[in-house]
Structure formats: structure tokens, C-alpha cells
Homo-oligomer: A and B are copies of this chain.
Amino acid sequence: VRVPPESLTAPQRTQVEGEEIPAAIEPPVRAYAVTVPPPTLDDLRADAERLQAALAEQHGVAAAAVDLAVLRELSPRLREGQWWASVAVREPLAAGRAPMPGEPTVWAPLRQEAEIVAVGRPAARTLGLAVDLGTTKIAAYLVDLETGHTLASQGMMNPQIAYGEDVVARLSLAMRAPADAQRMQALVVEALNQALTGMCAVVGIAPEETVEAVVVGNTAMHHLFLGLPVEQLARAPYVPAVSSALEVRARDVGLHMAAGGYVHLLPNIAGYVGADHVAMLLATEMHRAAGVVLALDIGTNTEVCLANHGRLTSLSCASGPAFEGAHIRHGMRAADGAIEHLRLVGDRVEYQTIGGAPPVGLCGSGILDTLAQLYQAGVVDVRGRMGEHPRVHDVEGVREFVVVDADERPTAGAGTNDRRLAITFTQKDVRELQLAKGAMRAGIDVLLAENDLVAAEIDRVIIAGAFGTYIDVSSAMAIGMLPRLPLDRFRQVGNAAGMGAKLALLSRTRRLEAEVLARRVDYIELALVTGFSRVFARAMYLG
């Protein structure tokens, strides 16, 4: 029975996305309004040199290099603007600066030189693009680099999905067929260019006024975006081509921004713990927490970090795509008509759908609720075996639980009750979920063991990512995906990786901090953990 949204317990959400930005705004690119004296027979300096001199005289900005692509536009721009222009100057990090007390000096492989990356119309704003490049979804944000405000945002599917749903499939393809790797690179850049154009249209500026970008993603998305080789990433021992933070020209990857604009990429930690994880750490600031903090970014791969009084340990679990609705009989992505929450009341199922639309299938949070309710009602036992219930039927030897009867669905004719039109949850679906939640819980258990901790000692659990935002934490605890803890220890923070990308876009100090964080994290390769298969087997039990 479909019920109104208020009637089912909705999780408390503390969206990092919605919070005020805590960091000081100190963007790598700043714009200066400059008036340039035109050349005369008595003043024959070149256009670039007269601009540099004006910048120094009017703003005290020391002579900055000018990128070739900017030089190609400069002379006509100055004349069109009647010798009045907005000059975007990029002032990268100082070398060897250590932003955190007690930290070793940071090796920052970044350009040391101030540089003019754009010359625009006199009143141009300085805007930046922050991107969380997920395997399934991409989130893009257009940010005002002066105020820190997010002016527009856009979510979209990662078009590389056409080449494989998960990371492994895409890497295998890229290895076998370099042309496909190039096509995947082009596709994702095309999507970003479209998103940028769309967001700029909303704000009423040209994409060329975007002077800087920060892109975060897992290591595979990072490599495919940059066109880096992936063979060494796809084969044991799974090493990245590069881990450190990178600054690449937007034009070198095909992004259409300001002529000399850069894309900054946060560092990767390992083959399966990427820059998006670093971005999450940056956004949650868990390394500054006094106690024990566990953070999860749930996805096809779930990255988990445990901060034990400032000591960071991370790993990646192959949780699979079940929570994205894949490999589940009636699973679907979170879209209108997806059952997102569900409660079993005796023989009755009460559910709510996204957008209040007629039910179409089960999205991740609905799948989680279903298993939790079935387990709590004793319909599914601790080993995941589906037992007897008025709504459980045997269909060709496979048990399935009817979530929504056919006659509740408008697609079925009135009065008919064709079981094939029902929305069901099968014994096989239970097994898929056990694998997914087992992988995640095993990761958590390994982290606790490595730190000589038990679950009860965790002071806070941060759940990041789109799926994590919408799950019912009680359900996750009920099936043993998350350790049992008081509900007030959990924070569901939304897209922390996207937030981290924004912070890195707005602050040079945060970029340095990200470098430090990436080097500070102890990475655990699960393949090397002795007895891992036993831990994993145990973690698959429900409850």
C-alpha cells in the first residue's frame, strides 16, 4: 500500500552540501580589473608586456607569465575592450609549504609561477567548475571563486556506462581497445562541456569565463578522464599511473574553459582508493576529529576510512552495483516511481515512492528496507534463507516475496492479478544483497581490527554518497551492513566528494591539505589481509 512520505520514518540528513563553507576563500585564480595604456610611437612595448606592467602598477601583481592560448586572444581583446580588461591571474601554491603542524614538508608537484590564464571583458566574474566524477553519476557545480557561492549545479549519468556498468568492465575494455579508451575519455569530457555550457547559460555567462576546474573521481575514472593508461590499474598489483595531485591545462583534456585555464586533480591514494576519497576526507575533516570516526562512501566500490584519533586508515570494498538497483530482479535507479522506503505491517506492505508516482521498482534504499523488514519479521533468516509468509511464493523453484501486487499497478488491467506483473524481491536478490553488505561490513571489521578497536568505540559514522544519503540507517544496522550503534552517532552528509572538490576549487590551502592527507592515509590492500575470506564469510550473515 502506498502511503504518504511522512508516515515512514525518514532518516535525519545532515547535508554537507547545504552547509556554509567553513574554509577561508583563497582561490588559485583571482581577477583584476586593469586599464592598459594603448601603444603610441613613443611607447612601443608589446601588448603582453604593457598588460603585465599595468597589472604590476595597478595591483602590485608581480610580472606573471602569459599562456600561449591567452596571447592568441590578448591583442584583439584589449582593443575590443578599449584597453580595459579583467585579467585572471593564477597564483599557485608556494613550494614546500606545510599547512598542518607537525607534518613533514609537502612535496607539491605544482607550477610555481604566477600566470595570466584569461583576459576577459572588463566586468567578468571568476568562476570555477567542481566535478565529482562517479562511475555511475557525475555531479558538476559552477562556483563563484570570489564569494564561494555555488551558482548552479547539475547531475547527470556518466555516459561511459554504455561501455560497462562498473569500473572493472571499463578498464578491461580500455585495455583491449585503445580506441574505446579514447572514446570514453571524449564522452566524459563532452558531458562536462555540456554541463558547463548549461550551467553557464543559467548564470548568463560564457563557458570561457570559467577559469579553473577541480575534478575528483575514483582512480579509474581519474585515469579514463585524463587519458592515462589503465593496464597497470586493471592487473595485480593494481597501481595507478600517477597518484600525486596534478595540474593539467583544460585544453589538454578537451575541456572548453578560459584559454589558459587549468584542471586540478586531487591526489589518488591507491588503485582502488582515489581522489574522490581524498575529497571526502577533505570535506568531512575527520582527520581533525579527536575520537574515532568511520566514513563510508557507498557505491559500486565502497571506500571506507577509519580515523583513530587522527590516524587514517582506508580501504576499498567491492560492494557491487546491487544498491544501484543492478542485478536485483525489480531493482532500479532512484527515479520517479522507485520504492524508496518500505515497511512490513503483518501481511501488508506500506511503501512510498519517489515523486509519489505509481510504483515501478525498488531503488537502493527500498531494497535495503525490504531485506531489513523481511529479516526483522523472520521471513528471511540469519543465513539469508527465505521462509514462509503469505506474500512469499515459489516460482519455478525460486522463492520470491511480493512487494507490490499486480492489481496495485496501473499497468495491469483492473481486477487482473497476473503474478508476472507484481514487484517482487527474490531469494536471489537476498543473496546479491548479502554479498554487497558483506563486502562493506568486512571492510569495516578489518579497519576496526587493524586499529585494535571494537565497533562500540566508534564515536561517529559518516555516510557519504547519493545512496548513503537516502538509506534508512536503522535498516542498514538491522541487516548488519553497519555496526549497531546509537542512531545519533550517524551523519548522512550527501555528496562529500563533490563538496571536497568545491573546497579544493576555492582554497589553495585545502589543495595542499589534500596532498598531506593522501600521504597520511594508511592504505590496506584487502588481498593482503590474512583470513579476509573468513571475515567476509562472517560479514554476510544478517543481523
**A contact set with B: CB distance below 8 Å:** 39-41, 44-49, 63, 65-66, 68-69, 71-76, 79, 107, 109-113, 226-229, 231-232, 236-244, 246, 248-249, 252-253, 268, 270-271, 523, 525, 527-528
Q: Tell me if A71 and B525 are in contact (CB < 8 A).
A: no
Q: Tell me if A46 and B241 are in contact (CB < 8 A).
A: yes
Which residues of the other chain, B, contact A241 by a CB distance below 8 angstroms? Answer: 46-48, 71, 74-75
Q: Tell me if B113 and A71 are in contact (CB < 8 A).
A: no
Instruction: Knowing A75-B241, A229-B75, A231-B75, say if A109 contacts B68 (CB, 8 Å).
Output: no
Q: Tell me if B109 and A65 are in contact (CB < 8 A).
A: yes
In the bound complex, CA of A444 to CA of B416 (Å):
105
Which residues of the other chain, B, contact A227 by a CB distance below 8 angstroms? Answer: 72
In the bound complex, CA of A131 to CA of B219 (Å):
41
Which residues of the other chain, B, contact A71 by a CB distance below 8 angstroms? Answer: 226, 228, 241-242, 246
Which residues of the other chain, B, contact A111 by a CB distance below 8 angstroms? Answer: 65, 111, 113
Which residues of the other chain, B, contact A226 by a CB distance below 8 angstroms? Answer: 68, 71-72
In the bound complex, CA of A246 to CA of B49 (Å):
12
Q: Which residue of B lies closest to A236 (CB)?
A: B41
Q: Which residue of B lies closest to A109 (CB)?
A: B65
Instruction: Knowing A41-B525, A44-B237, A239-B46, say if A248 contacts B75 (CB, 8 Å).
Output: no
Q: Tell me if B243 and A45 are in contact (CB < 8 A).
A: yes
Instruction: Knowing A69-B252, A241-B71, say if A232 contacts B39 (CB, 8 Å).
Output: yes
Which residues of the other chain, B, contact A268 by a CB distance below 8 angstroms? Answer: 46
Instruction: Knowing A66-B109, A226-B71, A241-B48, say if A41 contacts B76 (CB, 8 Å).
Output: no
In the bound complex, CA of A357 to CA of B487 (Å):
99
From B69, B112, B237, B239, A113 is in contact (CB under 8 Å) with B112
Q: Tell me if B49 and A528 are in contact (CB < 8 A).
A: no
Q: Tell me if B113 and A39 are in contact (CB < 8 A).
A: no
Which residues of the other chain, B, contact A39 by a CB distance below 8 angstroms? Answer: 232, 237, 239
Instruction: Knowing A227-B72, A239-B44, say if A49 contacts B244 (CB, 8 Å).
Output: yes
Q: Tell me if A47 and B239 are in contact (CB < 8 A).
A: yes
Q: Which residue of B lies closest to A246 (CB)?
A: B68
Looking at the assembled complex, report how far the CB atom of A523 sits from the nearest CB atom of chain B, in whole angstroms: 7
In the bound complex, CA of A48 to CA of B253 (Å):
19
In the bound complex, CA of A228 to CA of B74 (Å):
9
Which residues of the other chain, B, contact A249 by a CB distance below 8 angstroms? Answer: 68
In the bound complex, CA of A113 to CA of B65 (Å):
14
Which residues of the other chain, B, contact A244 by a CB distance below 8 angstroms? Answer: 46, 48-49
Which residues of the other chain, B, contact A523 by a CB distance below 8 angstroms? Answer: 44
Looking at the assembled complex, report how far the CB atom of A213 sits from the nearest CB atom of chain B, in whole angstroms: 14
Extra contacts, 12 of them, besides A44-B238, A75-B229, A76-B231 (Cβ < 8 A), are A39-B239, A40-B237, A41-B525, A44-B237, A44-B523, A47-B242, A48-B243, A49-B242, A49-B243, A66-B109, A66-B242, A75-B231
In the bound complex, CA of A237 to CA of B44 (Å):
7
Q: Which residue of B lies closest to A68 (CB)?
A: B248
Supply 20 A–B pairs (Cβ within 8 Å), ascending by A.
Answer: A39-B232, A44-B239, A44-B270, A44-B523, A45-B243, A46-B239, A46-B240, A46-B242, A47-B241, A48-B241, A48-B244, A49-B242, A65-B110, A65-B111, A66-B109, A68-B246, A72-B226, A72-B228, A72-B229, A76-B229
Looking at the assembled complex, report how far the CB atom of A71 sits from the nearest CB atom of chain B, in whole angstroms: 5
Which residues of the other chain, B, contact A63 by a CB distance below 8 angstroms? Answer: 107, 109
In the bound complex, CA of A280 to CA of B333 (Å):
68
Q: Tell me if B41 and A240 are in contact (CB < 8 A).
A: no
Looking at the assembled complex, report how far the CB atom of A385 sits from the nearest CB atom of chain B, in whole angstroms: 37
In the bound complex, CA of A509 to CA of B238 (Å):
44
Most chain B CB within 10 A, of A46, A48, A228, is at A46
Which residues of the other chain, B, contact A74 by a CB distance below 8 angstroms? Answer: 229, 241-242
Looking at the assembled complex, report how far the CB atom of A160 sits from the nearest CB atom of chain B, in whole angstroms: 18
Which residues of the other chain, B, contact A69 by a CB distance below 8 angstroms? Answer: 252
Q: Which residue of B lies closest to A239 (CB)?
A: B39
Which residues of the other chain, B, contact A66 by a CB distance below 8 angstroms? Answer: 109, 242
Looking at the assembled complex, report how far the CB atom of A526 sits from the nearest CB atom of chain B, in whole angstroms: 11
In the bound complex, CA of A349 to CA of B280 (Å):
88
In the bound complex, CA of A227 to CA of B76 (Å):
13
Looking at the assembled complex, report how far the CB atom of A193 sits from the nearest CB atom of chain B, in whole angstroms: 18
Which residues of the other chain, B, contact A271 by a CB distance below 8 angstroms? Answer: 44
Which residues of the other chain, B, contact A528 by a CB distance below 8 angstroms? Answer: 41
Which residues of the other chain, B, contact A243 by a CB distance below 8 angstroms? Answer: 45-46, 48-49
Which residues of the other chain, B, contact A109 by a CB distance below 8 angstroms? Answer: 63, 65-66
Which residues of the other chain, B, contact A242 by a CB distance below 8 angstroms? Answer: 46-49, 66, 71, 74
